[in-house]
């Protein structure tokens, strides 16, 4: 489980840093933005571990996918705002970079591809399961 946590943290952070480079974020924001993206990317795994360990505090209904996605956004937003204050930068830079790791890219890509190919029924099924 630790190996998966570290792998997700690393890849989420790398994807976030790549997004920052692609959209010309200031160079000094790349490392903090990558850290925020990495932490928001591993939030579901972290809550799965915490929910399993602390079932008395987190009822299983609380760990529903929708709640965990909301917590991902909360982690990205709070860390982004805090980092923006510390670095005296606009918070949009950090919160946007932090939320990128939470997007379901592969599912959205397949949905768009199927829509372009005209397979609307399959696109609707994959799109609904992605969201």
pLDDT tens for 65-87 read 667 777 888 889 999 999 999 99
Token pair of 54 as six digits: 């602390």
Pairwise CA distance, residues 40 & 57, whole Å: 21
- In this prediction the pTM is 0.73
Phi-psi region of 20 (alpha: psi -120 to 50; beta: other; left: phi over 0): alpha
Q: Which residues contact 123 (CB under 8 A, 6 or more apart)?
A: 111, 112, 114, 115
pLDDT tens for 96-127 read 888 887 777 777 778 888 889 988 898 888 88
């Amino acid at each position: 489980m630790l190996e998966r946590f570290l792998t997700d943290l690393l890849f989420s952070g790398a994807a976030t840093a790549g997004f920052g480079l692609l959209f010309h974020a200031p160079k000094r924001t790349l490392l903090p933005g990558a850290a925020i993206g990495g932490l928001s990317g591993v939030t579901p795994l972290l809550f799965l571990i915490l929910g399993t360990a602390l079932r008395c505090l987190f009822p299983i209904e609380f760990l529903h996918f929708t709640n965990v996605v909301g917590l991902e956004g909360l982690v990205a937003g709070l860390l982004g705002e805090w980092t923006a204050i510390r670095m005296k930068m606009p918070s949009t830079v950090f919160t946007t970079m932090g939320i990128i790791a939470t997007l379901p890219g592969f599912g959205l890509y397949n949905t768009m591809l199927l829509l372009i190919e005209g397979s609307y029924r399959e696109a609707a099924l994959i799109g609904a399961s992605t969201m």
